[in-house]
Structure 1
Amino acid sequence: MKTKPIQPTMTTAYYTQCVISFGIALTSVAVGIAYLPVSPWVRAFLGIGVMYTVTTAFALAKCVRDRQELGNMHSRVDQARLEKLLSEHDPYKVDGV
């Protein structure tokens, strides 16, 4: 009997909450940088720093997800091999008769 692994699902509400939270956080930092009492060069440097942090966070999240999916794929292949070996095994078969 094959058992299907439980796949975590992401609800629409959770996805929406994540997107809204990201938007609020990025907007808050952008407004904070815009109203800093410093020269435009410092504001530009901080803005580029924030954008660099955001893009690297997305890249890191993708790498973590890809590594997890790769691990899941290896486990599925190993499980399929084990199921094939078990289905081909006959405990009542006598060798050499």
Structure 2
Amino acid sequence: MTPTPTPRTTTAFFVQAGIAFAISFAGSLIGIAYLPIDPWQRGFLCMTLLFLVTSTFTLAKVVRDHQEASTVRVRVDEARLEKLIAEHDPFKAVA
């Protein structure tokens, strides 16, 4: 059984994600800045946007941690099973 390689993101994908985040965040801030509303409403929208961004990062980290934990557990279980199969001798007499 060959081990499956761990999928890694490419540098291009990382850069694309960073640029997309920066453009969307800047666009939202510019949109909030030019809205014809009172300063307290603008502040509320900025605070909401910042809370949305931080909670999104937290959610992404939680999902990644959960995926990594399940992947490691699966790998440990597979290693244990392979060890048991390797140590098993079907021709050994039961005492």
Coarse TM-score class (shorter-chain normalised): over 0.9
Alignment-mate amino acid for residue 9 of structure 1: R
Q: Matches of 2:72 and 2:10 in 1, distance apart?
A: 23
Equivalences, count: 95
* Percent identity over paired residues: 47
Segments of 4+ moved more than 4 angstroms = none
Match of 2:31 in 1: 32
Alignment-mate amino acid for residue 80 of structure 2: R
Alignment-mate amino acid for residue 39 of structure 1: D
Q: Quick check: 1:21 aligned with 2:24?
A: no
Q: Matches of 1:93 and 1:45 in 2, distance apart?
A: 74
Q: Which structure 2 segments of 5+ residues have no match?
A: none
Match of 1:82 in 2: 81
Q: Matches of 1:77 and 1:8 in 2, distance apart?
A: 18
Greater length-normalized contact order (CA 8 Å, ≥ 6 residues apart): 2
Q: Which structure 1 segments of 5+ residues have no match?
A: none
1:3 Cα deviation after fit: 1.8
Match of 1:6 in 2: 5
Structure 1 length normalisation: TM-score? 0.94
Match of 2:45 in 1: 46
Q: CA RMSD in A?
A: 0.9
